[in-house]
Amino acid sequence: MKNYGKTNIVAGLLFMGGFMLYGFILIYMRDFAPGKEEWIANSNVGTHFEARLAHVHGNLFAFINIMIGYLLLKLPVAASSAKWISYTGLLGMAMPLGITAEFLFGLPFYLVLVGAISIITSIIWLAIALAKAKFPVK
């Protein structure tokens, strides 16, 4: 049987590291960069707001994937469900990437929707799989 959860943990940690670095760039822009006053004044609208939104969701979805991975490794989830829970969790990370791609490259919102639907599907599927799981009696 394949350990699907391991991929979620590794990808989640790498994703989190990347979005944490991105957060430090946002801190630099707000506190140290030339023109920081303009950055602060525009922080709740447009590109600046979307940049913060991507940072927050990137770290949240990374943590969710770490959690999904750990639970898939440690709890008795059926292999067929574990496979798709893992894949949909990983695909969920398309949401913060989609937010970033929207404001950096002007791409349409499709990645955001795919990611949002995928992460929600993954969490609900995991809940259902765990509700059906047979836990050993001690």
Q: Residue 137: what pLDDT? A: 75
Q: Give the CA distances from residue 46 to residues 3, 30, 33, 98, in Å, rounded to whole numbers and listed in that order.
A: 41, 15, 19, 15
pLDDT in tens, 80-126: 999 999 999 999 999 999 999 998 999 999 999 999 999 999 999 99
Q: In the structure encoding, which two tokens stand for residue 48, read together?
A: 């600046």
**pTM for the model:** 0.91
Full DSSP string of 46-101: HHHHHHHHHHHHHHHHHHHHHHHHHHHHHS---HHHHHHHHHHHHHHTHHHHHHHH
Per-residue pLDDT tens for 57-85? 999 999 999 999 999 999 999 999 999 99
- Burial tier of 80 (Cβ tally within 10 Å: 0-12, 13-18, 19+): exposed
Domain boundaries, given as residue ranges, for the chain: 4-132
Distance of CA 126 to the CA centre of its chain: 16
Instruction: Give the CA count within 13 Å in the CB-facing half-sphere of 79.
Output: 3
pLDDT-derived band at 35, boundaries 50, 70, 90:
confident
Residue 47: band (very low, low, confident or very high) from pLDDT cuts 50, 70, 90: confident
